[in-house]
């Protein structure tokens, strides 16, 4: 059976890192006897320039029909002045909403080869293995917003149903991990968080062998750098999950390493957690590993190819163990490689 993958390179380093991930998917497919077809579609700033909108209808239609979507990143200073509803980032929000992708899985794993790459002490981060489950279809990113000359507002709305389904995803994930779910909110201040906390308790109680606790987001931000190994699965809102996952990336050594899977009702969408990194775009130095590991998640979650996914993950681990480093992770004594060379090293180990 053939699977159809839509690739949306987007802007900035998105183009460079998706090129590597595509090669990895092609070689993995060839090795595993999988038939994959690919189609590239525009979104983000590139689409604004070409077609006047961040998320062209043809891109959305292709994403809907695909078996999975792999996305680089969108945005950049070139589009900072466009109207808010036309910003490149609207493409991501639009895709996530249109495809009903309410669950964003962001694994944060410290590679044994990189245990001393975090600015935190190695004994704190070694063995860290956290899954951040971020609600992705609601909250303040999608609430009513507005602005006047000297006043602006964004609103956060969550329904019990939206909280129930994301907490259920977190509990399911925890069942095959270490059984611990930390629900993160700001229930001492926010009404949405009080609903969140109460609903999380009700949902988790229906799962056997799940240990649920609650943390305020400010404390969670601190605990992540003080004692990260206490966490197994973290479940939280769209905004808090966005922020906490960038923070958690610091534990691994570089944000360029972290993948994500967005799943829900429609086609799964796979993207690294970082943005388009305009500060390094076009120089061939971006770390493609977050996107390659997103491709592994695509194989696992959308195509059901767990073995192939593991092979990609093992190849990445082997490359790191063998001392290859892109600029974000480079230290004297290791082998500095470009984005494409890192890709070739991964391909060699598949």
Ligand X SMILES: NC(=O)C1=CN([C@@H]2O[C@H](COP(=O)(O)OP(=O)(O)OC[C@H]3O[C@@H](n4cnc5c(N)ncnc54)[C@H](O)[C@@H]3O)[C@@H](O)[C@H]2O)C=CC1
Ligand Y SMILES: CC(C)CC(=O)C(=O)O
Using CB under 6 A as the binding rule, whether residue 278 contacts ligand X is answered as yes
Q: Binding-site residues for Mg(2+), please?
A: 218, 242, 246
Residues 90-149 that bind ligand X (CB under 6 A): 92
Residue 175, class by beta-carbon neighbours within 10 Å (0-12 exposed, 13-18 middle, 19+ buried)? middle
Stretch that binds ligand Y, among 85-93, 119-127, 190-198, 323-331 (CB under 6 A): 85-93
Query: How many CA atoms does the CB half-sphere of 349 hold within 13 Å?
Result: 19
Q: Supply φ then ψ for residue 145, to 5 degrees.
A: -130, 160
Of 7, 15, 47, 89, the residue at the interface with ligand Y (CB under 6 A) is: 89
Q: Is 242 in the site for ligand Y (CB under 6 A)?
A: yes
Euclidean distance between CA atoms 333 and 228, whole angstroms: 29
| Minimum distance from residue 349 beta carbon to ligand X (Å) | 20
Chain centroid offset of residue 83 CA: 26
Provide the minimum distance between the beta carbon of 11 and ligand Y in the complex, in angstroms, as a whole number.
11
Per CB under 6 A, which region of 93-101, 129-137, 153-161, 284-292 contacts ligand X?
Answer: 284-292
Task: Convert residues 295-324 into a mask of x (bound to ligand Y by CB under 6 A) and - (unbound).
Answer: ------------------------------
271 binds Mg ion (CB under 5 A): no
Positions at the binding site: 76-89, 96, 106, 134, 218, 242, 246, 275-287
Told to check if 343 binds ligand X by CB under 6 A, we report: no
Q: Please tell me whether residue 13 adopts helix, strand or coil conformation.
A: coil
| Euclidean distance between CA atoms 151 and 179, whole angstroms | 45
| Least CB distance to ligand Y at residue 89 (A) | 4
Bridge partners of 80, per DSSP, are: none
Q: Which does 244 bind (CB under 5 to 8 A by kind): ligand Y, ligand X, Mg ion, none?
A: none
93 binds, among ligand Y, ligand X, Mg ion, none (CB under 5 to 8 A by kind): ligand Y
**Are 89 and 80 a contacting pair, CB within 8 Å?**
no
What residues between 213 and 272 interact with ligand X by CB under 6 A? 255-256, 271
The token duo for 222 is 């601190």
Shortest CB 167 distance to Mg ion, Å: 21
Q: Which residues of 185-218 are buried (b: 16+ CB within 10 A; e: fewer)?
A: bbbeebebbebbbebbeebbeebeebebebbbbe
Residues 6+ apart with CB under 8 A from 150: none
State how far the Cα of 25 lies from the Cα of 168, in Å rounded to an integer: 30
Q: Looking at 27-35, 73-81, 164-172, 194-202, which segment touches ligand X (CB under 6 A)?
A: 73-81
Are 58 and 41 in contact by the 8 Å Cβ rule? The answer is yes
**Binding residues for ligand X, per CB under 6 A?**
13, 73-76, 89, 92, 255-256, 271, 274-280, 286-287, 290, 328
**Binding residues for Mg ion, per CB under 5 A?**
242
**Binding residues for ligand Y, per CB under 6 A?**
89, 92-93, 242, 273
């Amino acid at each position: 059976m053939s699977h159809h993958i839509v690739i949306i390179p987007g802007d900035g380093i998105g183009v460079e890192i998706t090129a590597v991930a595509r090669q990895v998917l092609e070689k993995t497919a060839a090795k595993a006897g999988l038939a994959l077809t690919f189609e590239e579609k525009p979104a983000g700033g590139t689409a604004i320039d070409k077609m006047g909108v961040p998320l062209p209808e043809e891109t959305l239609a292709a994403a809907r029909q695909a078996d999975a979507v792999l996305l680089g990143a969108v945005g950049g200073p070139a589009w900072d002045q466009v109207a808010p509803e036309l910003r490149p980032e609207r493409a991501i929000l639009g895709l996530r909403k249109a495809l009903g992708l309410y669950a964003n899985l962001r694994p944060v794993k410290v590679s044994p080869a990189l245990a001393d790459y975090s600015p935190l002490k190695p004994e704190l981060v070694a063995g860290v293995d956290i899954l951040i489950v971020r609600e992705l279809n609601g909250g303040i990113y999608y609430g009513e917003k507005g602005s006047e000359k000297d006043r602006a507002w964004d609103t956060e709305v969550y329904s019990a149903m939206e909280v129930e389904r994301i907490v259920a995803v977190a509990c399911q994930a925890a069942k095959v991990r270490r059984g611990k779910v930390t629900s993160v909110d700001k229930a001492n201040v926010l009404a949405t968080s009080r609903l969140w906390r109460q609903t999380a308790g009700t949902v988790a109680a229906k799962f056997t062998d799940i240990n649920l606790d609650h943390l305020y987001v400010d404390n969670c931000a601190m605990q992540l750098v003080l004692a990260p190994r206490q966490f197994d699965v973290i479940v939280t809102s769209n905004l808090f999950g966005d922020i906490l996952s960038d923070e958690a990336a610091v534990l691994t050594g570089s944000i360029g390493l972290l993948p994500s899977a967005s799943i829900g009702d429609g086609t799964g969408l796979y993207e690294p957690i970082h943005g388009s990194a305009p500060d390094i775009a076009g120089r061939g130095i971006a770390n493609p590993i977050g996107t390659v590991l997103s491709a592994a998640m695509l194989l696992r979650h959308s195509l059901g190819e767990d073995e192939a996914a593991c092979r990609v993950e093992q190849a990445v681990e082997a490359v790191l163990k063998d001392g290859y480093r892109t600029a974000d992770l480079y230290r004297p004594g290791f082998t500095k490689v470009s984005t494409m060379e890192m890709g070739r090293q991964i391909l060699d180990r598949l």
